[in-house]
Amino acid sequence: MATQPRVMPGLFSGLSVKIIATIIVVILAVEVVIYLPSAANFRQSWLTDRLRVGIVAARVLDAVPDAMNLPRMITDRLLNSAGALAIVYRREGQSQLIELENTPMPREAVTIDMRVRDQATLIMGALDTLMLGGDRMLRIVGEEEGQEQSTVEVLMPEAPLRADLLVYSRNLLVLALILAAFTSAVLYVFVSLILIAPIRRLTGNMMSYREAPENAALIVAPTLRRDEIGVMERELASMESDIFSMLRQRRHLADLGLAVAKINHDLRNTLTSAQLLSDQVATLDDPKVQRLAPRLVQSIDKAIGFAQSVLDYGRQSVTPPRPVRVELRVMLEDAAFDAGLAGHPTIGFANNVPENVAISADPDQLSRVFINLIKNAREALEAAGAKVTAPVVDIGYAAAGDGLTISVADNGPGLPPRARDNLFVAFEGSARAGGTGLGLAIARELTEAHGGRLSFVDQPVGTRFDVVLPTALLLG
Ligand SMILES: Nc1ncnc2c1ncn2[C@@H]1O[C@H](COP(=O)(O)OP(=O)(O)O)[C@@H](O)[C@H]1O
Ligand SMILES: [Mg+2]
């Protein structure tokens, strides 16, 4: 079993930190988006307040017949209360002005037209005040409600507006930080309780279960949660108990295998005695005995063969494939040899795999696949004997986008119905005397361990099996 270092990430390097960091960043981003319009609104109402004073002044001027001669005290007070240097009132082509005494009037001023109120202009205005504002003069232009011909202008420095806007922004920032801290703290607690704690519990369980999968006490106890975590807990629990019973089964099977090995051994001894006996018996002159003795030996031989294959199946690689570079053509050449086909007196062999194809695979396991397939073909062709003219086993090769196909085809009698019905089922698929029905089952298992597929391809003549391997196994 592979052993990697098993460490649970610390509380501050795991999921929780990522979650908190994300939350804080998102909240701050949202705050920035909210900040712009609210700063714009703040500035707008600040300016509106000042303009309103101007409008009041305009009304006064309207009401007083000789406005230019109002006492200074009154006009200065009016101006001071708006923080303004001057107020201009225009109506029907006439304009009236009141201004602070002894104050030089500035030449330049930035005009702010309060009648333009779209959000973009307001936001640009607020940004303008924050970034460029300072010691500029403002000319706030507006009109009395319902009186469109008359305009009021208030002339005032921008500095107080900018100072107020800065204070407002700072307050908002503090609020945003408090909000972010609070929200992420609450979410952290929530997420820890609801997600991270159960995930850590499951992770811890997996880690300890992996140490001792045969200890049923370590199987996780699912809670009654109905969300994804609950599903995960239940799935893990059932997976662990499956593994537990599979391990148990495997141990029992291993015990059975041992028993078969013992039987096999005894059988072999019995065969040896039987062989000796039959040799003795064969010397007897009785023709009946002479005819029966070899058949006796043959039967026992068959029994031994069967026991041997069962043993091999039990022993067959439970380990995952260990891939190395495999030259495909050479590997198939060797497999044909091991399957007793190379140099066969009657059956031909055509290896159509190109010279330079190499894949990453477990050489032992992959050649077992082809030895089984080629051996089956040879056996079928041998059994058919003279019924097949020019018997041949043909290895095909094709690499398409979705996989590389290596086919083993023969021009023999085709799959018998019994084999067809139980294709790939261990111990069931055999349709020949002395067969175990293990060859195809093993071949399929080993192909699938390589991420591939083994399939039977129906053909009018003969039998063909395709081994389809993932293209990813191809080596350059
Ligand atoms: N190329 C083939 N041509 C005809 N029959 C085949 C071929 N390959 C397999 N079979 C049939 O499928 C059966 C199952 O094969 P296999 O799983 O290798 O078991 P076994 O060879 O031990 O019988 C064989 O008994 C045989 O009848
Ligand atoms: Mg076979």
Mean pLDDT of 444-455: 92
- Sheet bearing 358-361, strands edge to edge: 324-327, 358-361, 474-475
Q: How many domains does the chain have?
A: 3
Query: Which of the residue ranges 19-23, 120-124, 356-360 would you say has the lowest mean pLDDT?
Result: 19-23
Confidence of residue 11 (pLDDT cuts 50, 70, 90): low
Q: What is the pLDDT of residue 328?
A: 96
- Alpha-carbon Rg for the chain in angstroms: 47
Q: Which ligand is nearest to the CA of 374?
A: 1
Q: What is the pLDDT of residue 277?
A: 78
In a domain, 197, yes or no: no
**Last residue of one domain, picked from the residues 282, 297, 315:** 315
d(CA 326, CA 160): 82
**Last residue of one domain, picked from the residues 269, 286, 315:** 315
Ligand 1 pocket residue status of 463, Cβ below 6 Å: yes
Q: What is the pLDDT of residue 318?
A: 60
Q: Considering only CA atoms, which of 380, 367, 376 is closest in space to residue 406?
A: 367
Q: Over 80: is that where the pLDDT of 268 sits?
A: no
Q: Could you identify the atom of ligand 1 that is nearest to the CA of residue 441?
A: 17
Mean pLDDT of 320-336: 94
- Answer left, alpha or beta for residue 390, where phi above 0 means left and psi between -120 and 50 means alpha: left
Shared domain for 148 and 258, answered yes or no, is no
Shared domain for 271 and 175, answered yes or no, is no
Q: What is the pLDDT of residue 360?
A: 95
Shared domain for 25 and 118, answered yes or no, is yes
The chain-wide mean pLDDT, for the chain, equals 86
Q: Over 90: is that where the pLDDT of 41 sits?
A: yes
More confident residue, 236 or 431: 236
In a domain, 209, yes or no: no
In a domain, 97, yes or no: yes
Q: What is the pLDDT of residue 196?
A: 83
**Residue 313 CA to ligand 2 centre (angstroms):** 12
Mean pLDDT of 385-413: 93
Q: Considering only CA atoms, which of 425, 394, 429, 435 is closest in space to residue 415?
A: 429
In a domain, 215, yes or no: no
In a domain, 217, yes or no: no
Shared domain for 159 and 251, answered yes or no, is no
Ligand 1 pocket residue status of 409, Cβ below 6 Å: no
Ligand 1 pocket residue status of 434, Cβ below 6 Å: no
Shared domain for 423 and 306, answered yes or no, is no
Residue 73 belongs to domain spanning: 15-180
Query: Which of the residue ranges 127-136, 284-293, 311-320 would you say has the lowest mean pLDDT?
Result: 311-320
Shared domain for 394 and 467, answered yes or no, is yes
In a domain, 220, yes or no: no
How many helices and strands (H and E) does the chain possess? 11, 13
Ligand 1 pocket residue status of 431, Cβ below 6 Å: yes
Atom 13 (ligand 1): residue with closest C-alpha? 430
Domain CATH number, residue 439: 3.30.565.10
Shared domain for 349 and 459, answered yes or no, is yes
Shared domain for 174 and 42, answered yes or no, is yes
| Per-residue pLDDT tens digits for 101-110 | 777 777 788 8
**Residue 428 CA to ligand 2 centre (angstroms):** 12
Q: Over 90: is that where the pLDDT of 18 sits?
A: no
Q: What is the pLDDT of residue 6?
A: 63
**Last residue of one domain, picked from the residues 279, 296, 315:** 315
Q: Which ligand is nearest to the CA of 463?
A: 1
Q: What is the pLDDT of residue 315?
A: 65
Shared domain for 161 and 266, answered yes or no, is no
Q: Over 70: is that where the pLDDT of 316 sits?
A: no
d(CA 232, CA 21): 26
Q: What is the pLDDT of residue 5?
A: 54
Q: Which residues of 84-106 are buried (b: 16+ CB within 10 A; e: fewer)?
A: bbbbbbbbeeeeeebbbeeeeee
pTM of the model: 0.51
Shared domain for 58 and 153, answered yes or no, is yes
In a domain, 2, yes or no: no
In a domain, 68, yes or no: yes
Q: Over 60: is that where the pLDDT of 2 sits?
A: no
Confidence of residue 84 (pLDDT cuts 50, 70, 90): confident
Do strands 392-400 and 348-351 pair parallel, antiparallel, or not at all (unpaired)?
Answer: parallel
Shared domain for 139 and 251, answered yes or no, is no
Confidence of residue 32 (pLDDT cuts 50, 70, 90): confident
Ligand 1 pocket residue status of 391, Cβ below 6 Å: no
Chain position carrying tokens 């081994």:
467
Please name the residue ranges forming H helices in 117-158: 119-132
Query: Which of the residue ranges 4-13, 148-157, 464-473 would you say has the lowest mean pLDDT?
Result: 4-13
Q: Over 50: is that where the pLDDT of 1 sits?
A: no
Cβ atoms of 352 and 397 within 8 Å: the answer is: yes
Confidence of residue 237 (pLDDT cuts 50, 70, 90): very high
Shared domain for 305 and 343, answered yes or no, is no
Query: Which of the residue ranges 148-152, 177-181, 402-406, 459-463 would you say has the lowest mean pLDDT?
Result: 148-152
Measured distance between the N- and C-terminal CA atoms of the chain, rounded to whole angstroms: 30
Q: What is the pLDDT of residue 4?
A: 57
Q: Over 70: is that where the pLDDT of 317 sits?
A: no
Ligand 1 pocket residue status of 410, Cβ below 6 Å: yes
